[in-house]
Amino acid sequence: MRLPLNSAVNNLQLSGIRQFTNLAKQTEGCILLTLGEPEFDTPQHICEAAIQSLQAGDTHYPPNNGQEYLLQALSAYEKKNSLFYEPEEIIVTCGATEALFMAFMGILEQGDEVIIPTPAFGLYESIITLCRGVYRSLDTRQSQFQIDSEQLRGMVTPKTKAIVLTSPNNPTGCVYNKQSFDIVAEISEKTGIYIICDDVYSQLVYDDQFTRFVSSYPHLRENIIVVNSFSKPYAMTGWRLGWLMADKSVKQQLQKIHQYNVVSVNSFVQEACVKALDTDVSFMRSTYSRRRDFVYQRLCEMGLEVNYPKGAFYAFPNIQKFGMSSEEFCTRLIEEGKVALVPGSCFGAQGYVRLSYCCADKILEEGLQRLEKFLSNL
Ligand SMILES: Cc1ncc(COP(=O)(O)O)c(C=O)c1O
């Protein structure tokens, strides 16, 4: 006999993205356009810095929130993006994933509501569930994936504790406009709710002037928690490194969660992180930008309705006209078309599929050709 596990854990599903990726991997010859995993390897000089740190014996417990030199480098780096956080307002984390966990755990009491503009990265719902909060989806499908002010106002209740802003967005590639930001700021100002800014794609923006939320509303600083990551811009997904920034009054509480959960990130990667922050990643950005245009053009040629992505490395075409659920569409696409996309349902949005274009050009070209053939046979 054994007593039940925590029901919040029991009720969680494994990541849908991983499930479809696994199905694709078991299908011989299938091309994967599922993961947000850059095809690039981490630039060599970043790897060398970690090797040197190891060789120099940098293998002891580092300070909980990160080495002072890294916190200073992060503070200086974010200052260049008009985000003003002192080193003592930053925590180096195990990816943005841990930073998000810390943010939700630090904010939520049982039953507190979090508004998530949807489609959204599935991780938020899972963490909110684990923290015994309530996930409330704000459907942005009818408003070009922007936040509609009346809709948002109508969702705020006395239980609302936070809203998440992901810009550029996973899975849509959209960037929030000023109206979307303004309404969130207005509500936060009135009610005191927290705004969790998931800025992991903020370095991957391809055209217009791009503004991060916190730089436009510095008076809301106490309400804002910024989450960022080394994963995507520096092709460092496997290093599991990110950072959290918050007003000192908030950060000082949140750091307890980090301390008791992971103690700190690895010691010998921290010099390498400084090197990463100094790395010019414009070649990766221009590669993604070129692919973005290619993917958009190809999807339009196939007759798919799709928003022109402004950042990240995803396109999110509408597949409603084929009269299938997004899961059925993706399962058939894997089995019949030998190419894998992720169903919109994994992001809380039926009727769409996510295509990731951070893979090599040849794979992308072949994958799109297969998609076109599959669609023409439907
Ligand atoms: C929007 C968003 N936030 C956070 C993460 C997690 O990033 P990390 O690798 O830093 O944990 C991802 C990863 O795909 C993401 O797409």
| Cα dihedral 227→233→234→239 (10° resolution) | 40
Q: How is residue 265 written in tokens?
A: 């990130």
Distance between Cα 200 and ligand 1 center (Å): 6
Tell me, yes or no, whether 303 and 343 share the same domain: yes
Q: 291 is in which domain, residue-wise?
A: 7-42+281-376
Which of 231, 357, 358 has the most ligand 1 atoms within 8 A of CB, as the residue to mutate? 231
Res 20: pLDDT: 85
Average pLDDT of span 91-117: 98
Cβ of 115 closer than 6 Å to ligand 1, yes or no, is: no
Tell me, yes or no, whether 298 and 200 share the same domain: no
Task: Flag whether pLDDT at 19 surpasses 90.
Answer: no
Res 207: pLDDT: 84
* Type of residue found at 325: S
Cβ of 98 closer than 6 Å to ligand 1, yes or no, is: no
- DSSP element (H, E) containing 283: helix 282-301
Residue nearest to atom 4 of ligand 1 (CA): 96
Average pLDDT of span 314-343: 96
Tell me, yes or no, whether 366 and 261 share the same domain: no
* CA distance linking residue 221 with residue 68, whole number of Å: 23
* Any domain includes 322: yes
Residue nearest to atom 1 of ligand 1 (CA): 170
Tell me, yes or no, whether 131 and 249 share the same domain: yes
Give the model confidence (pLDDT) of 150-186 as tens digits: 999 999 999 999 999 999 999 999 999 999 999 999 9
Distance between Cα 3 and ligand 1 center (Å): 34
Tell me, yes or no, whether 329 and 266 share the same domain: no
Cβ of 36 closer than 6 Å to ligand 1, yes or no, is: yes
Q: How far apart are the first and last CA of the chain?
A: 51
User: Could you say which of 249, 277, 305 is where a domain stops?
Assistant: 277
Residue nearest to atom 16 of ligand 1 (CA): 170
Peptide bond into 171 cis (omega under 30): yes
Tell me, yes or no, whether 119 and 238 share the same domain: yes
Res 209: pLDDT: 79
Res 13: pLDDT: 84
Tell me, yes or no, whether 221 and 320 share the same domain: no
% of the chain with per-residue pLDDT over 70: 100
Cβ of 121 closer than 6 Å to ligand 1, yes or no, is: yes
Distance between Cα 96 and ligand 1 center (Å): 6
More confident residue, 371 or 208: 371
Cβ of 96 closer than 6 Å to ligand 1, yes or no, is: yes
* CA distance linking residue 351 with residue 44, whole number of Å: 41
What pTM does this model have?
Answer: 0.96
Looking from the CA of residue 201, the nearest atom of ligand 1 is 1
Looking from the CA of residue 166, the nearest atom of ligand 1 is 1
Tell me, yes or no, whether 32 and 114 share the same domain: no
User: Could you say which of 242, 277, 312 is where a domain stops?
Assistant: 277
Cβ of 309 closer than 6 Å to ligand 1, yes or no, is: no
Tell me, yes or no, whether 33 and 98 share the same domain: no
Average pLDDT of span 106-129: 97
More confident residue, 21 or 277: 277
- CATH of residue 23's domain is 3.90.1150.10
In three-state secondary structure terms, 351 is coil
In three-state secondary structure terms, 26 is coil
Task: Flag whether pLDDT at 208 surpasses 80.
Answer: no
User: Could you say which of 277, 304, 322 is where a domain stops?
Assistant: 277
Tell me, yes or no, whether 124 and 218 share the same domain: yes
The owner of tokens 């990667």 is 269
Cβ of 119 closer than 6 Å to ligand 1, yes or no, is: no
Decide: 368 and 333 in contact? Cβ < 8 Å: no
Indicate the pLDDT class of residue 59, thresholds 50, 70 and 90.
very high
* Any domain includes 235: yes
Cβ of 172 closer than 6 Å to ligand 1, yes or no, is: no
Cβ of 358 closer than 6 Å to ligand 1, yes or no, is: no
Tell me, yes or no, whether 304 and 350 share the same domain: yes
* Any domain includes 2: no
Distance between Cα 20 and ligand 1 center (Å): 18
The owner of tokens 């939700």 is 104
Indicate the pLDDT class of residue 190, thresholds 50, 70 and 90.
very high
Distance between Cα 64 and ligand 1 center (Å): 22
Tell me, yes or no, whether 183 and 332 share the same domain: no
Which of 92, 101, 121, 203 has the most ligand 1 atoms within 8 A of CB, as the residue to mutate? 121
Q: Considering its fold, how many domains does the chain have in total?
A: 2
Give the model confidence (pLDDT) of 280-317 as tens digits: 999 999 999 999 999 999 999 999 999 999 999 999 99
| Cα dihedral across residues 139, 175, 358, 279: positive or negative | negative
Distance between Cα 97 and ligand 1 center (Å): 6
In this structure, the strands spanning 353-356 and 134-139 are: unpaired
Residue 126 makes CB contacts below 8 A (sequence gap 6+) with 12, 15
Decide: 352 and 344 in contact? Cβ < 8 Å: yes
Indicate the pLDDT class of residue 235, thresholds 50, 70 and 90.
very high
* CA distance linking residue 121 with residue 242, whole number of Å: 17
Average pLDDT of span 13-42: 90
* CA distance linking residue 68 with residue 294, whole number of Å: 43
Q: Tell me what the pLDDT averaged over the chain comes to.
A: 96
Residue 302 makes CB contacts below 8 A (sequence gap 6+) with 371, 372, 375
Average pLDDT of span 257-267: 98
Res 183: pLDDT: 98
Res 167: pLDDT: 97
